[in-house]
Amino acid sequence: MVEGRFSKFLKKLAFSGAGHQYQLLERGELETLIDGQNELKAIEKEKTVVALPPKEASKCHREDLAEAFYVDLQNGLSEFSVTQRRLVHGWNEFVADNTEPVWKKYLDQFKNPLILLLLASALVSVLTKNYEDAISIAMAVLIVVTVAFIQEYRSEKSLEELTKLVPPECNCIREGKLQHLLARDLVPGDIVSLSIGDRIPADIRLTEVTDLLVDESSFTGEAEPSSKTDTPLTGAGDLTTLSNIVFMGTLVQYGKGQGVVIGTGERSQFGEVFKMMQAEETPKTPLQKSMDKLGKQLTLFSFGIIGLIMFTGWLQGKHLLSMFTIGVSLAVAAIPEGLPIVVTVTLVLGVLRMARKRVIVKKLPIVETLGCCNVICSDKTGTLTANEMTVTQLVTSDGLHAEVSGVGYNGQGTVCLLPSKEVIKQFSNVSVGKLVEAGCVANNAIIRKNAVMGQPTEGALMGQPTEGALMALAMKMGLSDIKDSYMRKKEIPFSSEQKWMAVQCSPKNEEQEDIYFMKGAFEEVIRYCTTYNHGGIPLPLTPQQRAFCQQEEKRMGSLGLRVLALASGPELGKLTFLGLIGIIDPPRAGVEEAVHVLSDSGLSVKMITGDALETALAIGRNIGLCNGKLSAMSGEEVESAEQGALAERVGKVSVFFRTSPKHKLKIIKALQESGAIVAMTGDGVNDAVALKSADIGIAMGQTGTDVSKEAANMILVDDDFSAIMNAVEEGKGIFHNIKNFVRFQLSTSISALSLITLSTVCNLPSPLNAMQILWINIIMDGPPAQSLGVEPVDRDTLRQPPRNIKDVILGRALVLKTLLSAAAIISGTLFIFWKEMPEDKASTPRTTTMTFTCFVLFDLFNALTCRSQTKLIFEIGFLRNRTFLYSVLGSVLGQLAVIYLPPLQKVFQTENLGALGEWEGSPRTAAVLAARAGHLQTFPGREVPAWGHPVCKGLGSCLDICTG
């Protein structure tokens, strides 16, 4: 653009012979040329501006910052500078790499090994001209991948709705004017003005500060807001110690400030975490690994059948190609094409049940993962706790102790004296009343009262969380309006050096002298006190009394409480000490019960926090981690430990404190290396990388940051930690249902294949014709089979320990049960086939009809016993799974239609068995045998048939009597 301006000037440069005569430029053209050259220089200068690392920026003086970013700290950048810098640095936003087109997401569903095996079998069916099999398999595959895709797509859309927030905005000074802009418009060097309630739009080096407090809990895990300054730092330590830097995504709790943008987008600390998260690959879920193994096992099984048939045919002197065709047909029939459908439907139903419980699951297999999860790592602030500072204990200067109930910035809760449990309101106890009054008056926080249907709800806090906790305490005591009784004349603000704040007030309704109210650290406040309050009477502050108060302060501090001391009096040097208030970010409602239930079911719950050791241990004890027997490990210890040594140690540690995102990731990796299946819960930016790398990441829906929701696999919409219990229960139940279905399908497949194989090997007529085998396949893959996938979760499931990740679906126990069921079906059906076979051993419609009917009856009884791996049908209940009962009833009616309706008799080559007489023979015997076979069941802890169980004996006797 600028170069284009010079083209006309070049034409002015005329060479005339050897004299090289030049044409002079006019004055206006000369000025334009100079302006163009200056603009080129300005563009080059703008390109040299780079983002400044926080540690380096923290050491810079104001003049150094102005020089480094070529910015006037009073007037800000020009629009020209902003435009040029945006060409280099881009927009202040993040671009996720996972924006795949819809068609690619759909095709990804075909990567499942079992799906690929089914597609291969469909192709073989086409090559062998078994088009009916090919069409049915192809339809099954399409149904599976479409249902899975639709459910995952819906989950993603639900997440998008959840994360739709008002676009972040900011106040920025440009060209000497304060402008209201979108945060994405910022570039390095912009001057940003901050005030209470603002979300920090980028990494900023502060240049002006007035009582600025910033909530950095989403970044550091610290519940207490960080006090900020504008002075250069001499030695830069950890990021959490940079008091003159504010980071993108954190929140201004109090005060105001101004500063220079030093990093935007992916060049901010927020962006560093985002890039780490993008680099982490989400591990395969245990169910996906199990399905992969099952696919390989079924492939080997199929090749085994083909080999066996071909070898047998070769021994009998039959044509190898025809034997290969038969073997391939049987192998295709053996593959349970209904399995992916059942798995998908079971997972979808689990996802829908979780959605009703306000839990969003982003990927279907994740639902089952919690069923084998044996370690849950949880962030503390905002996950185990509500991130709302709350007063829990009071100690008055005359030795009274009181406990405070209720959580959050509202008046819900009571103040009770100990040990009498007497509820205190207003000044019913003078010592407690004066203590609470001082905390309310020496306070700048405001709690906006909300109301729903006349009931008080959670209030919105404007101000510091600590002061909000004191205001909530006053509301519980009925003293929230006591502040209006005084007129404030002066405030001495809190500073990190003096560690206290005080206000000078005069009572409005009484002609009394001014009174000072002070709050702060005990060791500083006590220095200004000469007396202590004893039931409303000031008494001299003796060394013994001072020692008592100091002992109480240490006791409360050891419980992880933040302790504030309060005093009041006529002048700062002559104050009356009133007592101590203990504040903590308490556990969320229901967390303690959830931790107990999860621990009882074999899960280890670990807390990972950026907080100090005392606070972390206090919360750990409150929620019952490891039954109060806590062992702790610091972030520094985690960083210095070798990965192998850490993997051996992490299993024994229940609390990790002073951790960074890097430490959290290392802890997760060490746990996984030790063989654990790890779930990670969190809500902050500092949790995102760990959420992504864990086997299952769980984010908070309300308090969670966008980056944590992006990283997680599952989102608790209402931030209810106890919802994890429901997810664990669902996960365990789903895997049991999948095993039940596999047992039923494989036992049916093996039975059908064995009948045909045995008849082929023994040169007997086929006991079933092609259409009858197709009907059996419909039952095998149809409603009775599908209904096993919706069996309600057993009430005892949650108490069972997490399943071992190394356990495959086709384990030894399941194979044994499958073979026992198949043996019962084969022997019973062969018995009927042998009994009904005519003397010339010819296959007649009556023989195949009787054999066919008996096989179906056996299979339906087999489905009944497959509803549970460990309990009898009488223990789990006949009516609990109504879908199963309806599907069995439908199958029986369908079987009757195949036998008795003339049009279907022609198709299936069956004949009428008579109204009663025929049913008194072989089918009746088949029903008895099927009922007997149905009790080849196992009990908990036993892998043997339950023939000796009294219920089995009783049922067998009844059936024998009924059938003569």
d(CA 4, CA 15): 21
Return phi, psi of residue 597, to 5°.
Answer: -65, -45
Contact 187, 77 (CB under 8 A): yes
What is the b/e burial string over 18-38, where b = at least 16 CB atoms within 10 angstroms of the residue's CB? eeeeeeeeeeeeeebeeebee
Contact 728, 357 (CB under 8 A): no
Give the Cβ contact number of residue 429 at 10 Å.
21
d(CA 744, CA 781): 10
Peptide bond into 419 cis (omega under 30): yes
| CA neighbours closer than 13 Å in the CB half-sphere of residue 627 | 2
Contact 665, 690 (CB under 8 A): yes
Give the Cβ contact number of residue 961 at 10 Å.
8
Contact 306, 331 (CB under 8 A): yes
Q: What 8-state DSSP symbol labels residue 146?
A: H
Estimate the crossing angle of helix 922-933 against helix 950-962, to 10 degrees. Answer: 180
784's CB contacts (< 8 A; 6+ apart) are 744, 859, 860, 863, 884, 887, 888, 891
Ordered DSSP codes for 720-774 = -TTHHHHHHHHHHHHHHHHHHHHHHHHHHHHHHHHHHHHHHHTTPPPSS-HHHHH
d(CA 69, CA 411): 49
Nearest to 563 by CA among 517, 614, 521, 500: 521
Sheet bearing 655-657, strands edge to edge: 359-361, 714-716, 696-700, 678-682, 375-379, 604-608, 655-657, 632-634
Contact 435, 581 (CB under 8 A): yes
Set 203, 379, 398, 719: catalytic member: 379
d(CA 304, CA 318): 19
d(CA 155, CA 157): 5
d(CA 876, CA 794): 8
Q: Is 398 a catalytic residue?
A: no
Q: Is 554 exposed, middle or buried (0-12, 13-18, 19+ CB in 10 A)?
A: exposed
d(CA 388, CA 657): 19
Tokens of 456: 């008080």
Contact 333, 709 (CB under 8 A): no
d(CA 880, CA 724): 25
Which phi-psi region, left, alpha or beta, contains residue 50 (left: φ > 0; alpha: ψ -120 to 50)? beta
Q: Which amino acid is at 112?
A: N
d(CA 769, CA 750): 17
Distance of CA 521 to the CA centre of its chain: 39
By 3-state DSSP, what share of the chain in percent is helix, strand and coil, each rounded to 5? 50, 15, 30
Return phi, psi of residue 99, to 5°.
Answer: -85, 70
519's CB contacts (< 8 A; 6+ apart) are 438, 439, 442, 470, 500, 501, 502, 525, 564, 565, 566, 567
- What are the residue numbers of the active site? 379
